[in-house]
Amino acid sequence: MNNKRIFLSLSQQSGFEEKYIQTALNDSWITTGGPNVDEFENKLEGFFEKNKSIVALNSGTAAIHLALILLGVKLGDEVICQSMTFAASANPILYQGAIPVFVDSELDTWNICPEFLEIAIKDRIARGKKPKAIIAVHLYGMPYKIDEIFSIANRYGIPIIEDSAAALGSSYKGKKCGTFGDYGVLSFNGNKIITTSSGGVLVCDSQGLKEKAIFYATQSRDNASHYEHSKIGYNYRISNICAGIGCGQMEVLDKNVTLRRAMHDFYKKVFEDIDEVSVFEEPNEDYFSNYWLSSILIEDDCEKKINREALTLAFEEANIETRPLWKPMHLQPLFVEYPYYGEKIAESLFEKGLCLPSGSNLTNEDKNRIEEVIKTFFK
Ligand SMILES: *Cc1c(COP(=O)(O)O)cnc(C)c1O
């Protein structure tokens, strides 16, 4: 049997990228900005079918950073952030010299918990500082509790940065993820549902905010014939070549969502009769996940030697990549000193959770190999 490594989430060519890249090369548009960038932004604006303005950048992390800047987050300000996430959600808070305040997850969506969010807001206000923003994440493509979180944020007048980096193609009550927050963020790094090799976008509510974001993303050049600067600038615009890849990838977005969702169905079926495992899934029909990464929770069973580590090893022996869930930020050495509101939900998810191969390129043979490991392990 073929023993080629099966990866968690690999990028994949659609075949439509080359014509955009070739045009850029032919026209010597080998720079940041350019026709592919405009087209990529237009395609995304069309995808969102709403009055949203899209700014294409060189990473999702850059988009989160710009959102904080546009919301006026400065030295010493506090920003609430979901603890259970990738470090890129929280690092830009530190870039601004601001203070992250971490909040636990709830068990339905694994995302920011409304109860602890409100407790955190009340306590920070009581201590003298109202948080400047909330960073809420659609973990692994699963929408967070949008209605509950927005109702709290609106009550206290705190803007939301929606980290939709993993959730392009997901939606809540029929509305697309990325369009709920004051700012939305998408990522197109190499393992996301579509890729530009590295890239991201900031979703803004108006053309004016888009222009402001582009100003900061292109070194904050004031209006003058020479280079004049009165604000700190950044080099965050996407390259015209990468945007060309994005234009081609947009053609297969819907297909990739369908294929990732099919991987989730595959795991549902494989784990159907395995009591120790629960597959992460939409809490009800309001939620539509792109299932960027299919994930499971494994209950320890000492007698049968069943636990996450043992299953990880079994996959590794078959040359199949898996990965524990994100280690919560409040447990990371970088962030331990910052405030945290919650109990141990995120922590227990981290201890029991595993992400499984979820790419849109997995073959039937790959699936058979994955199923074989699972069936043998839980026999
Ligand atoms: C991928 C990811 C990011 C960062 O995006 P980059 O494009 O890699 O900078 C941020 N947040 C989450 C939740 C992600 O999964």
Tokens of 166: 């993993």
Q: Does ligand 1 come within 6 angstroms of the Cβ of 163?
A: yes
Q: Does ligand 1 come within 6 angstroms of the Cβ of 113?
A: no
pLDDT given for residue 286 in this prediction: 98
Distance CA 100, CA 102 (A): 6
Nearest ligand 1 atom to alpha carbon 63: 9
pLDDT tens, the chain, 379 aa long:
678 999 999 888 999 999 999 999 999 999 999 999 999 999 999 999 778 999 999 999 999 999 999 999 999 999 999 999 999 999 999 999 999 999 999 999 999 999 999 999 999 999 999 999 999 999 999 999 999 999 999 999 999 999 999 999 999 999 999 999 999 999 999 999 999 999 999 999 999 999 999 999 999 999 999 999 999 999 999 999 999 999 999 999 999 999 999 999 999 999 999 999 999 999 999 999 999 999 999 999 888 889 999 999 999 999 999 999 999 999 999 999 999 999 999 999 999 999 999 999 999 999 999 999 999 999 8
pLDDT given for residue 302 in this prediction: 87
Q: Does ligand 1 come within 6 angstroms of the Cβ of 61?
A: yes
Distance CA 309, CA 295 (A): 15
Q: Does ligand 1 come within 6 angstroms of the Cβ of 166?
A: yes
Residue spans of alpha helices (H) in the chain: 17-26, 35-48, 60-70, 91-95, 114-126, 146-156, 207-217, 240-250, 253-270, 308-317, 345-352, 364-377
Q: How far is the CA of 61 from the centre of ligand 1 (A)?
A: 6
Q: How far is the CA of 185 from the centre of ligand 1 (A)?
A: 9
Distance CA 311, CA 139 (A): 22
Q: How far is the CA of 91 from the centre of ligand 1 (A)?
A: 11
Distance CA 259, CA 361 (A): 8
Nearest ligand 1 atom to alpha carbon 85: 13
Q: How far is the CA of 88 from the centre of ligand 1 (A)?
A: 6
Q: How far is the CA of 23 from the centre of ligand 1 (A)?
A: 29
Nearest ligand 1 atom to alpha carbon 138: 13
Nearest ligand 1 atom to alpha carbon 61: 9
Q: Does ligand 1 come within 6 angstroms of the Cβ of 89?
A: yes
Q: How far is the CA of 227 from the centre of ligand 1 (A)?
A: 32
User: Nearest CA to 77 among 149, 1, 129?
Assistant: 129
Q: How far is the CA of 290 from the centre of ligand 1 (A)?
A: 15
Domains of the chain: 17-252 (3.40.640.10), 254-378 (3.90.1150.10)
